[in-house]
Amino acid sequence: MITSYDRNAQAVRMLRVGFRVPVVVAETGMTALKVRRMARDVDGDGRGRSGSMPAAYTMAASSSALMDISLFAALYRSMGGEAVLRSIDIEILISAYNLYLEVRESHLSHVKPVLTDINRAWVIARDIRSDLAWLETCEVDGYHLTVNEQRTPLGCPWCQCRRASSRKRSKGTTETAARLSREG
């Protein structure tokens, strides 16, 4: 059973990590008014905490963007197991996001970052849970993400990137990043 103390502690923890009010409301079941008050206590002011969350497909606007969100999704799925298909585990999400930042820094820095804050990572986790984004497996690269209403070509973004770079006859580092995401 979740007590109100647990809910408050969870909300404060989430606000300290940088989650926005609508996300904290969705995860804790607390009212927006109460969460906004808590945000003011945590921040000094509550500005920059509101605003609606984008849909995942807006974050998959190109193959390289899909690669970026796939990296996070693969880490989140590897760390959280099948449970992430049914519910969001905030602690796993935070750990996976921190690892994503490290891996993207060392292996995907040539790609423009899509998950620029943890709220966008939450959108991916939410859409995986809601069956609006799907983890699919490539034989070579492991997990990649496909999202509802995706406008970019379907299939493994790592393979697409390799095909594109072999057409350009240049070597990329995407293979390593893909392998890392698979091994988690």
Specify the residue, 45 or 139, whose C-beta has the smaller distance to Zn ion. 139
Site string for Zn ion, 107-146 (x = CB under 5 A): -------------------------------x-xx-----
Q: Are 114 and 68 in contact (CB under 8 A)?
A: yes
- E strands along the chain, which residues? 133-138, 142-147
Radius of gyration, alpha carbons of the chain: 17
Specify the residue, 20 or 157, whose C-beta has the smaller distance to Zn ion. 157
Site string for Zn ion, 82-111 (x = CB under 5 A): ------------------------------
Specify the residue, 14 or 156, whose C-beta has the smaller distance to Zn ion. 156
Q: Are 152 and 164 in contact (CB under 8 A)?
A: no
Site for Zn ion in 146-165 (CB under 5 A): 156, 158-159
Q: Give 132: exposed, middle or buried? Use CB within 10 Å, 0-12, 13-18, 19+.
A: middle
Catalog residues that contact Zn ion under the rule CB under 5 A: 138, 140-141, 156, 158-159
